């Protein structure tokens, strides 16, 4: 992918969606940008974002081809930031080499078969941990200072409090001039309730429940969530506030 922030980012706030909804919305965005393969093509189609929902048949075709792999990418995304950019193979969760990592970062350039860990790295290879050099461009590294739920942020009861957590994470940081604390709840209301901001995933027409998954997909999602819960609920992480 493209590290779009270059060296101007000071810290990371990680937004996580419900895994099932994340799969649907990811396809929605791909459909919005006509499944663009390059940054330039995707950028041209930004005005199409969040306008409508794709045909169910389009989703089902993509689902059957991609969702099992995307479930692994979902877990890898969380691991990547929680571990500060540690290079891992998303299909096996094993620590990998910079050479393999560079291939994984170009997913459209290789087939899944060509990216297999046992072929590129070797199952018996001892791999020293390496970290994504892009994380060195972030003042505080890639480990999130805050993790928030996208669903909670737009929830009419929970959202105002979540928005204040975001404000607290950036308040006082260089280059960040925030509105006065007493007005921040009003900003959330204007953006989420009165919809005066840019369109987001909550503005699409139609029912997200029309897009379903097979039992196998759902079991794979549960398996990936169990892996993450077991990992970040373990002794190694129980003193780290982001894992709580």
Written as one string, the DSSP assignment of 136-173 is GGSTT-SS-SEEEEHHHHH-TTTHHHHHHHHHHHHTT-
Residue 1 pLDDT exceeds 60: no
Tens digits of per-residue pLDDT, 34-77?
999 888 999 999 999 999 999 999 999 999 999 999 999 999 99
Q: Is residue 42 part of a domain?
A: yes
CA angle 107, 128, 113 (to 5 degrees): 30
Q: Is residue 111 part of a domain?
A: no
- Which one, of 121, 111, 124, lies nearest residue 88 by Cα? 121
Q: Is residue 104 part of a domain?
A: no
Tens digits of per-residue pLDDT, 61-73?
999 999 999 999 9
- Which one, of 231, 233, 212, 203, lies nearest residue 48 by Cα? 203
Q: Is residue 3 part of a domain?
A: no
Q: Is residue 135 part of a domain?
A: yes
The chain-wide mean pLDDT, for the chain, equals 93
Q: Residue 155 sits in which domain range?
A: 13-86+131-243
Q: Is residue 169 part of a domain?
A: yes
What are the angstrom distances between the C-alpha of 12 and each of 65, 187, 231?
32, 22, 21
Given this model, what pLDDT does residue 221 score? 98
Look up residue 178 and give its DSSP letter: P
Q: How many domains, the chain? A: 1
Q: Is residue 64 part of a domain?
A: yes
Q: Is residue 7 part of a domain?
A: no
């Amino acid at each position: 992918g493209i590290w779009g922030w270059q060296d101007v980012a000071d810290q990371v706030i990680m937004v996580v969606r419900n895994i099932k909804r994340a799969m649907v919305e990811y396809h929605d965005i791909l459909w919005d940008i006509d499944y663009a393969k390059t940054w330039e093509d995707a950028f041209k189609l930004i005005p199409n974002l969040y306008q409508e929902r794709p045909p169910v048949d389009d989703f089902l075709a993509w689902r059957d081809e991609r969702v099992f792999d995307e479930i692994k990418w979902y877990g890898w995304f969380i691991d990547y930031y929680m571990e500060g950019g540690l290079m891992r193979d998303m299909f096996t969760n094993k620590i990998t080499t910079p050479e393999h990592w560079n291939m994984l970062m170009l997913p459209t350039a290789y087939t899944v078969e060509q990216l297999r860990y046992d072929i590129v790295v070797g199952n018996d290879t001892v791999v020293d941990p390496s970290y994504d050099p892009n994380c060195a461009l972030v003042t505080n590294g890639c480990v999130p200072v805050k993790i928030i739920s996208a669903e909670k942020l737009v929830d009419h009861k929970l959202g105002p409090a979540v928005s204040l957590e975001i404000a607290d994470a950036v308040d006082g940081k260089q280059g960040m001039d925030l509105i006065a604390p007493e007005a921040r709840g009003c900003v959330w209301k204007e953006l989420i309730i009165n919809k005066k901001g840019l369109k987001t995933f909550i503005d699409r027409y139609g029912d997200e429940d029309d897009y379903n998954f097979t039992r196998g997909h759902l079991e794979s999602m549960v398996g990936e969530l169990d892996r993450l819960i077991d990992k970040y609920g373990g002794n190694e992480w129980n003193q780290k506030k982001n894992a709580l």
